């Protein structure tokens, strides 16, 4: 063997050893995080018995300072380490908040849940459902439907416990079908989930994008990737029922000139090759989902909450403004205002409003009572835990 080949062989063996060592350390990190989570669960059990608050902001800041100091001493970037531990703390608070919610709604001992969603396995809604419920339930049964309405009907008729529906995207905006479902159905919002969406172009093999002639995906995904798709003059873009269903069709057809826009999870499920990624017009592409149920929930005052409303104003000049002034007068922050045509009432509109705060708070109760008196139609869609900004 030549000296060069022998040197290359030695380098390869060293690299393999380093990689094996990194794999061992990664496994230890996961095991340590799992052990930490067990302790968090025990801490939460004690909090239930002595009514201690879920979150201790002072202790969090003390911990983060300690982490920065330890990172500095260990020669690690303190900023990176602090961000990592902020994520770990966020996950701990999230678990405890959800568990407190389940405790107060007599669901802490429930270990299984059924979730309806639009799409098939691997869809973003499916991922959001798993993200939202995986820490709280041992058994999560997700059932896909062709439309948002059918997913909602499954909850109405008792086929599933809850449905998860996308309601807005940071690139494409509001998802009107979900707003229409909320208006028509007697369902209650009991939670929300924010999912970072990374659209990928996938095909049956590792081909060049220039060889693709047909791309399938959900209309929302197509809209969110419009700039990327506008450059592909050689491709026919076709709307499909769902991103994951589009990926499944590409796999089933086996056509090397056909591709789908879906998640990396869908590519893994359907054994497809990702040939382009990060396709959305915006780098920070997030979708907000709402979880709906037949029954409302009680939301503990110490959990940051959001209250969602549905209202129609009387047909008078400045009617909507008068309702919004009520919120201002009571110091309530409105985070979203969306209008949709009122079905069966030409030229009338329903307004969907998201407010910061719990509808049981004194100021909120007074404000909602005033708005209800001013509105032609009024409905509280739900009061539920709000996602923290850290999630996005």
Q: How many CA atoms, within 13 angstroms, populate the side-chain half-sphere of residue 290?
A: 25
Please state, in angstroms and rounded to a whole number, the distance separating the CA atoms of residues 160 and 240. Answer: 25
Cα–Cα distance between 162 and 188 in angstroms, integer? 10
What do you get for the CA distance between the two ends of the chain, in Å?
A: 55
- 29 SS3 class: helix
In degrees rounded to 5, what are phi and psi of residue 348? -110, 150
Distance CA 346, CA 38 (A): 56
Active-site residue, 287 included: yes
H/E stretch holding 171: none
Say if strands 214-217 and 258-262 run parallel, antiparallel, or are unpaired: parallel
Strand order in the sheet with 236-239: 236-239, 214-217, 258-262, 200-203, 273-276
Active-site choice (145, 289, 313, 351): 289
**Catalytic residue from among 171, 243, 287, 307:** 287
Q: Are 381 and 297 in contact (CB under 8 A)?
A: no
Q: Indicate if 62 belongs to the active site.
A: no
Is 260:214 a contact under the CB 8 Å cutoff?
no
Residues identified as active-site? 287, 289
């Amino acid at each position: 063997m030549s000296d060069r080949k022998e040197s290359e062989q030695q380098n390869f063996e060293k690299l393999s050893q380093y990689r094996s060592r990194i794999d061992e350390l990664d496994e230890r990190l996961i095991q340590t995080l799992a052990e930490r989570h067990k302790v968090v669960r025990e801490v939460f059990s004690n909090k239930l018995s002595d009514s201690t608050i879920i979150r201790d902001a002072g202790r969090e800041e003390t911990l983060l300072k300690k982490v920065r100091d330890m990172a500095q001493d260990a020669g690690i970037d303190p900023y990176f380490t602090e961000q990592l531990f902020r994520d770990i703390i966020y996950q701990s608070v999230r678990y405890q908040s959800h568990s407190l919610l389940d405790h107060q709604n007599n669901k802490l001992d429930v270990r299984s849940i059924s979730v309806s969603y639009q799409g098939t396995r691997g869809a973003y809604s499916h991922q959001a459902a798993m993200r939202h419920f995986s820490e709280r339930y041992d058994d999560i049964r997700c059932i896909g439907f062709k439309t948002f309405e059918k997913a909602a009907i499954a909850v109405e008729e008792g086929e599933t416990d809850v449905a998860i529906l996308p309601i807005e995207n940071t690139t494409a905006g509001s998802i009107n079908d979900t707003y229409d479902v909320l208006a028509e159905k007697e369902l209650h919002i009991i939670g929300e989930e924010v999912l970072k969406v990374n659209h990928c172009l996938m095909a049956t093999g590792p081909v060049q994008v220039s060889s693709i002639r047909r791309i399938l995906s959900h209309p929302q995904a197509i809209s969110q990737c419009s700039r990327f798709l506008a450059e592909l003059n050689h491709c026919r873009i076709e709307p499909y029922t769902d991103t994951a269903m589009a990926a499944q069709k590409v796999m089933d057809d086996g056509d090397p000139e056909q591709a789908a826009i879906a998640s990396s999870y869908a590519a893994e499920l359907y054994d497809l090759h990702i040939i382009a990624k990060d396709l959305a017009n915006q780098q920070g592409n997030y979708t907000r989902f709402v979880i709906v149920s037949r029954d409302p929930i009680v939301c503990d005052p110490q959990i940051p909450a959001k209250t969602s409303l549905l209202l129609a104003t009387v047909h008078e000049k400045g009617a909507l403004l008068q309702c919004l002034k009520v919120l201002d007068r009571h110091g309530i922050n409105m985070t979203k205002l969306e209008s949709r045509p009122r079905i069966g009432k030409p030229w009338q509109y329903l307004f969907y409003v998201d407010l910061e705060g719990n509808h049981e708070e004194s100021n909120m109760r007074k404000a909602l009572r005033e708005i209800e008196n001013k509105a032609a139609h009024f409905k509280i869609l739900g009061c539920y835990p709000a996602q923290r900004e850290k999630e996005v």
